Structure 1
Amino acid sequence: MEQLQIESPIGFLEITEENGLLKKIEYIDVPNEELKETNNLVLQEAKTQILEYLEGKRRSFTVPYKSEGTSFQQSVWTTLLSVPYGETVSYQDIAVMMNKPKSVRAVGQANRRNPLPLLIPCHRVIGKNKSLVGYAGDKVDKKQFLLELEEK
């Protein structure tokens, strides 16, 4: 397992690779000074793609990844991948797309546990009343940045 930090327009990110697959993208408040630069090809490609996306030069990701979660979480994350760049859906919409219309809260919890934000676009899910609710804990400002980026 290797890690790499990225300084980006939305703050510092820490990305993790294991067995040739991207496993985690995490927002961090303070960079880890002990984390060394790496030549890991997956991490370097992920860094390139993430920065291109955040600069408005990329709309999708091709870096190999693996997300770990329950079968329900996996289903939510797979459904999120079908939401096109620049579009938004509600938590209710995701539940309906999954044929589980009563699972709105569970969809929200799965979004909250998304190990690969940006790559699995949970930022495209908004409240039914179009409000910007929850993103990576309390990072709604990052969600707003991403949605505005995709509107351009």
Structure 2
Amino acid sequence: AFPLAFRGLVETRAAEAKVDPDLLQALIREESAFDPRAGSWAGAMGLCQLMMPTAREVAGWLKVGGPMTRERLHDPDLNIRLGSVYLARLLKQWNGNLALAVASYNAGAGNVGKWLRAAGQRDLDEFIEEIPIQETRNYVKRVLGSYSAYQLLHGRSAAAPTLGQALAAR
């Protein structure tokens, strides 16, 4: 199932961050299954499963007042706001490449850059299959699959033209 939980917040915050709401919805589906109190073994929290250092960094960009706490990260509006802006930053960093942005969201942009350099010139679909961290490899596939499903549910064609695209090593 592909629920539209928190859709109003997702659409509002996605528009503010200039990211596709279906991509943000897919990310939240895979990160937390729409549970605002979700937490991970690594310490990520809330709907967008933000790590505290990342949440503090993004809150600084946005000039969000007050200390960042676990309770605040469980607030759906703030969590989606921070997660959408962070996702937008990663999309910009990777020139709109969804797979690289999503991989960076999960494993860090530094790791993705290192993997790209090691991969050399190769198609994006091959790169995804060779992501060395199984959790990240599976995560990218799940988020992109959910994104395609949300696109189809909304009568839009799924944005898959980046698959098969050659990647330049960075």
Q: TM-score, normalised by structure 1?
A: 0.27
User: Taking CA–CA contacts closer than 8 Å with sequence separation of 6 or more, which of the two structures ends up with the larger relative contact order?
Assistant: 2
More strand by share: 1
More helix by share: 2
Q: Please, what TM-score do these two structures have when normalized by structure 2?
A: 0.25
